[in-house]
Chains A and B, each alone.
Chain A
């Protein structure tokens, strides 16, 4: 029976405490009024000279690419500064104030969603193993179940953040703004607060109920004399996958796409899915390596690791495929309503935006191409961590440009949130892994899985 090593437990508790302090610090230090904003801005200018987004900064990547001066500035104003028509122009400071007040919310959401999506990605992978009657992976079922234990606390926290952040994230929740915006009025049938909450609750219930019952049947199978629990698990996995593909699509649109409510992309939900899925698989690989190193799962061989690494490799490429398709199609057609999304990301977040491609694509493809490398635990660990960092940045880029705009940093609130949720994740997953034997006995494919070699 697994127990979380005491040093790791202590480490995670410290992470949680430090993280909590960081998050609270983030919320306490936001500017309260425009005077403070003015002060902060003048301090920043004194530090850095001219701010990068200043209007007289002509060396602008997007403008140069487009051959049109001032284009990116106008596009970003359009994208990030929605304001009611006919309500006059709110001052620049008010706008900045709002963005600065949003920062701790965004920082917390990015980390909270990142760890939730790992658990959710692992859950989807788990469901696929059942639905496809996979013969290699049953030895890993307990590992996956351990990771998905985080889904319940993780998803509740995410939904709470989303509900309480309100207009910090979702301009369409600002009634005054909607009253002056025809496009938002048109979307109000979908983008309205009660329906938003109802949908979020449906997602929570659906995902967590599947996780609850699949775990239950999986444990029942270990003591069963026939395959009834397994068959039930097969069935609910199939239905979960249908439920998931539908709710994941609306989840991505609700939680992230509607942060810039004028913008839309049909690819978006699938793109978020790719990120979620590859992160989940990577976490499975990392936890497996940890457990193997501690000697708890002798029945898992380097062939299983090989397969997991192949999945990381393949879905990193898949993620890139979706990233590129979405980006290229919008770049190519260059329709003003659509390009704003990428203009702000390329203009203001250039290093992160292109850096994430290196971490999420170039790195895994080079590291995991060789079939021998995929069986070397430390190599998979390094690649896995890089991929996870890359997908953290991916989530960061989903949220930050849409909510805090130019005023993004990576400081105490962001680090605090990562610490807090990482610590929580390790504690929850560790506790869950320790609850039962790590070998799913009596699974119909367990012997195939143990004898598996490739």
Chain B
């Protein structure tokens, strides 16, 4: 697939004088070693948050949705905000593994495994909300078109909420399969390296008896490409369908045709910010600085600049068309003069500052390659993208067509606790993953070592094969 020649102008993707063996050792180390104290501390905190969130969910379901801060005007608030936020975060994983594979970006190989893990864990969090925000979640199975004893009572396929069911469940299954397929050679590597019989057994099962024959590799690559080809339209369509939840309605501010591509761009934007947040810590903690280099961080920052730019253009268009349409109701939408000065002014400006202003700093090369600054900007973007969804949902609902139904939204501790719980759950899963899974696709990194490894690039420069 990739040529053996690489332009000398390209910076190396694997630092240090690595050999194939070094790669295996470095990547297997966190799995084969023992967790340290700080891992246990962070894990405990995440677990407590998760359990607290679980308590909030149980309380909600057993008492009623009324324990949330929703009212008759604003029927969706934190629940769907968090849902869209988590789904959006999940999109970067598939972008990295599928879209960047189609574009043959070699730098993807050091980050795809963790990005995909993040996708799956984020989609799991997202998947909670459509269930728990129901008034009668025990009847949730009615959304499935199953033959039944009510004269085969069927679902209505016209609702984007039903499309969500299919989109999210398909997305989760395809991502899982894609991720697991890529894991097979890496699990096999752990299986072959471990000394513990228990681990050998477990990784033997997980790796499905992968033996790395030529024919297997050939099919493996073909499957990866086909899955990438399928996952790319999927990733676009999933967040498109999520955007349809709003855009198909007639609510001013929600009904906007730009939503599908704009939501997708926003998803990639927020997803990459989350990848940065996680990987900047992980490369340090798991000693993977030679694989997840400053160059990788810079490339991801460039993707953030690109998608952030697309989102910014979408904001401008929304704001402009809101004025251009001449529709008076458009003055109370989340991107309008009314929103900038109204009771939710702080949410409006949080959105503008976090998503449009702060990411602009990444245009400066030294900041884009500055790890601390990147971490800070990534956190800001995560907050900003939460506000984007909050603004779209709550600000637009709060001032609808009839002034008599205008209202404000105040979250309760259950709203907040549930959100905190999903963050805890996410980190529980991610921390467990970081200890038990090969967090970098070593099989893939080995394919680029000889073209993009620092040592081999130096050898080529010395021997004049540039």
A residues bordering B, Cβ < 8 Å?
Answer: 133, 135, 182-183, 186-187, 190, 227, 242, 245-246, 249, 253, 264-270, 317, 321-322, 325-326, 328-330, 332-333, 335, 337, 444-445, 447-448, 451-454
Contact = CB atoms under 8 A, between A and B. Distances in A.
Contacts of A186: 326
B7 interface: yes
A269 B317 contact: yes
A448 B3 contact: yes
Contact of B257 (A135, A182, A325): A325
B103 to A, nearest CB: 8
A453 B259 CA distance: 38
A135 B7 contact: yes
Contacts of A245: 309-310, 313
Contacts of B324: 187, 190, 253, 264
A325 B257 CA distance: 7
Given A245-B313, A325-B260, A264 B325 contact: yes
Interface stretch (B15-23, B86-94, B241-249, B390-398): B241-249
B9 A333 contact: no
Contacts of B6: 135, 448
Contact of A266 (B248, B249, B256, B327): B256
Interface in B1-49: 1, 3, 5-7, 9-10
Nearest to A262: B326
Interface of B: 1, 3, 5-7, 9-10, 233, 236-237, 240, 244, 247-250, 255-261, 309-310, 313-314, 316-318, 321, 324-327
B326 A265 contact: no
Contacts of B257: 265-268, 325-326, 329-330
Given A187-B326, A264-B321, A266-B318, 4 more contacts: A135-B7, A183-B326, A266-B314, A325-B259
Given A317-B233, A335-B250, A448-B5, A249 B313 contact: yes
A38 B6 CA distance: 71
B261 A325 contact: yes
A242 to B, nearest CB: 7
B30 to A, nearest CB: 32
A242 B360 CA distance: 13
Given A246-B313, A329-B247, A270 B7 contact: no
A329 B259 contact: yes
9 contacts: A249-B316, A253-B324, A264-B321, A265-B321, A267-B261, A321-B233, A325-B257, A330-B257, A447-B7
Contacts of B259: 266, 325, 329
Nearest to B313: A245
B289 to A, nearest CB: 23
A324 to B, nearest CB: 9
A447 B326 contact: no
Contacts of A268: 257
Contacts of A325: 240, 257, 259-261
Contact of B261 (A182, A270, A330): A270
Nearest to A445: B7
B156 to A, nearest CB: 13
A129 to B, nearest CB: 12
Nearest to B318: A266
B98 to A, nearest CB: 12
Contacts of B244: 329
Contacts of A330: 257
B325 A452 contact: no
B309 A454 contact: no
Nearest to B310: A245
A242 B5 contact: no
Tell me which of A267, A328, A447 has the highest count of chain B C-beta atoms within 10 A of its own C-beta: A267
A270 B263 CA distance: 14
A321 B260 contact: yes
A332 B248 contact: yes
Nearest to B232: A314
A-B interface, 8 closest residue pairs, ranked by CB to CB distance from nearest? A266-B258, A267-B257, A325-B260, A444-B9, A186-B326, A332-B248, A326-B257, A265-B257
Given A270-B258, A326-B257, A333 B309 contact: no
B313 A322 contact: no
A252 to B, nearest CB: 10
A454 B1 contact: yes
Nearest to A313: B229
A249 B7 contact: no
Nearest to B158: A332
A269 B250 CA distance: 21
Given A325-B260, A330-B257, A451 B3 contact: yes
A329 B261 contact: no
A246 B320 CA distance: 12
Nearest to B250: A333
A326 B5 CA distance: 44
A332 B326 CA distance: 22
A249 B317 contact: yes
Nearest to B248: A332
Contacts of B260: 267, 321-322, 325, 329
Contact of A448 (B7, B237, B258, B318): B7
Contacts of A242: 309
Contacts of A322: 260-261
Nearest to B261: A270
Contacts of A444: 7, 9
A335 B255 contact: yes
A266 B257 CA distance: 5
A449 to B, nearest CB: 9
Given A245-B313, A325-B257, A329-B247, A266 B3 contact: no
Contacts of B314: 266
A325 B317 CA distance: 17
A303 to B, nearest CB: 10
Nearest to A231: B9
Nearest to B256: A266
A227 B9 contact: yes
Contacts of B309: 242, 245
Contacts of B5: 447-448, 451
B236 A321 contact: yes
Tell me which of B5, B309, B317 has the highest count of chain A C-beta atoms within 10 A of its own C-beta: B317
A329 B243 CA distance: 10
A333 B326 contact: no
Nearest to B327: A337
A190 B317 CA distance: 14
Contact of B258 (A267, A447, A452): A267
Nearest to A242: B309
A187 B320 CA distance: 11
B57 to A, nearest CB: 32
Contacts of B256: 266
A133 to B, nearest CB: 8
A105 B309 CA distance: 36
A444 B255 CA distance: 47
A317 B240 CA distance: 14
B326 A329 contact: no
B3 A452 contact: yes
